[in-house]
Amino acid sequence: MANMAAKADLWFIRLPNGRVLRARNTNVLRRFLKSGRIPWESRVRHSKEEPWRPLDHANEFVDLLPKETPQPSKAPPKSVGVRGLVEELFHAFDSSLQRGKLIAAALTGLGIGIVLVLSDICSQFLHDCTWPIYAGTAFALLLLFSVCSSILTQMTALELSRFRRVTFREASPGLLGSIGRLTIALGLVAGVILGIIAVLRILPSWLALTEATETTLQIVNAARLIAEVLCWPILILAMLLLAPVLIVEESSIVRGVLDWVGMLWKHPGRIYLYQSLAFTFAVVLMLPMVLPVLFTFAGSDNRSAVYLVTGIALTPALSYLLVAHVFIYLNLRYEFFHSTRDR
């Protein structure tokens, strides 16, 4: 009951520049209004089902309205299309380069390198246990990614709702539950997608055994390649967008996966554009650290050192992508920037 009441008193605030922030209750929003941290030209609503309304039309804040504020209900300026997307992704830059998030990403990159080194060593000595080694490596990498995603997502979501930087201690309550739910959800989605890819690759060989015609095999093989090309981007979307869906809304595994599927179905174009821009920015962040690694270890047979150094070099890109996808999710779910439609 307390949780339901808290959600009922949650406020979404659309700033004049198009950004959408959250205040956990009316008292918090009143404090921000009194301190001037929220401009009176902003608009508010309790949920995405409600229309945006000017602050002076909300009875909870009328008594705080400055007498000299001219036309507080005036519609804020619009930020349209790619410009709005780029602005939000630039906001993610500052958030992702905070010390605590970089440390979490660096430890994750180092952990990934260590896992790959151990996997390589085990493969050299245990030739008959290839599949168990691969399975164990995949699970360890999934767990590391889930831990990092949960930490960075929770910290970023709290920052956006509290309008300030947060520490790891502030973001730690409920973190183990988030890691568990995210690991299971990612495992299920990745398992289904990789299973589909495996079946698609086996299908032509199976049809060949049934004495199917050459034309049929060519059609099936072409369809298989097209389907597989679509499956890989969806897998990447799962790895990056599931964390905000599950953690920001505190969703169950089933509810989170369903919301994720609905988001892919509803916003395929915007998601593609958003992720293209986010990956472009991530590459820019990554190059200054990755290029020295490539130059140093070009032609080197020391794979262990390459794994370890490369994992650490990916720190800024990993931090940025995880933080940026919190902004992407909030934009898709709560309309961070203005579209050309007047809501």
Position with higher pLDDT, 293 vs 113: 113
Statement: residue 158 has pLDDT above 80: yes
What is the pLDDT confidence band of residue 19, given thresholds at 50, 70 and 90?
A: low
For residue 299, pLDDT over 80 is answered with no
Tokens 């209900």 identify what position?
73
Q: Give the residue, 276 or 56, on which the prediction is more confident.
A: 276
Phi and psi, residue 24, nearest 5°: -70, -20
* Confidence band for 322, pLDDT divided at 50, 70 and 90: very high
**What confidence tier does 335 reach under pLDDT thresholds 50, 70, 90?**
low
Instruction: Tell me the percentage of the chain whose pLDDT exceeds 70.
Output: 86
* pLDDT exceeds cutoff 80 at 26: yes
Two tokens, residue 299: 């032609």
CB 215 within 8 Å of CB 206: no
Query: CA-to-CA distance for 160 and 326, rounded, in angstroms?
Result: 10
Q: How far apart, in whole angstroms, are the C-alpha atoms of residue 249 and residue 213?
A: 51
**In the predicted model, what is the mean pLDDT of residues 318-329?**
91
| Tokens, residue 173 | 């309550």
In one-letter notation, the amino acid at residue 312 is I
Per-residue pLDDT at 54: 82
* Euclidean distance between the first and the last CA atom of the chain, given in angstroms as a whole number: 31
Tokens of 200: 């698609």
**Which uninterrupted H or E stretch holds 22?**
strand 20-23
Q: Confidence class of residue 226 from pLDDT cuts 50, 70 and 90?
A: confident
As a 3-state breakdown, the chain gives helix, strand, coil percent values, each rounded to 5, of 75, 5, 25
Q: Return the SS3 of 81.
A: coil
Q: Map out the domains of the chain as residue ranges.
A: 2-64, 82-334
Residues forming a β-bridge with 54: 43
The 10 Å CB-count burial string (b at 16+, else e) for 3-15 is eeeeeebbbbbbe
**pLDDT given at position 29:** 81
Per-residue confidence band for 229, with pLDDT thresholds at 50, 70 and 90? confident
What is the arithmetic mean of pLDDT over 171-180?
Answer: 90
**Angle formed at CA 59 by CA 55 and CA 62, multiple of 5 degrees:** 60
Question: CA-to-CA distance for 134 and 120, rounded, in angstroms?
Answer: 10
Question: At 336, phi and psi to the nearest 5?
Answer: -60, -40
3-state SS class at 266: helix
Please state the rounded mean pLDDT for residues 159-180: 84
CA distance 138 to 78: 45
The answer to whether 18 and 84 are in contact (CB under 8 A) is yes
98 secondary structure, DSSP code: S
pLDDT for the residue 217: 76
pLDDT at residue number 320: 93
- What is the per-residue pLDDT for 74? 45
Sheet holding 43-45, edge to edge: 20-23, 11-14, 43-45, 53-54
Higher local confidence (pLDDT), 10 or 152 = 152
Chain-wide mean pLDDT for the chain? Answer: 80
User: pLDDT at position 13, please?
Assistant: 80
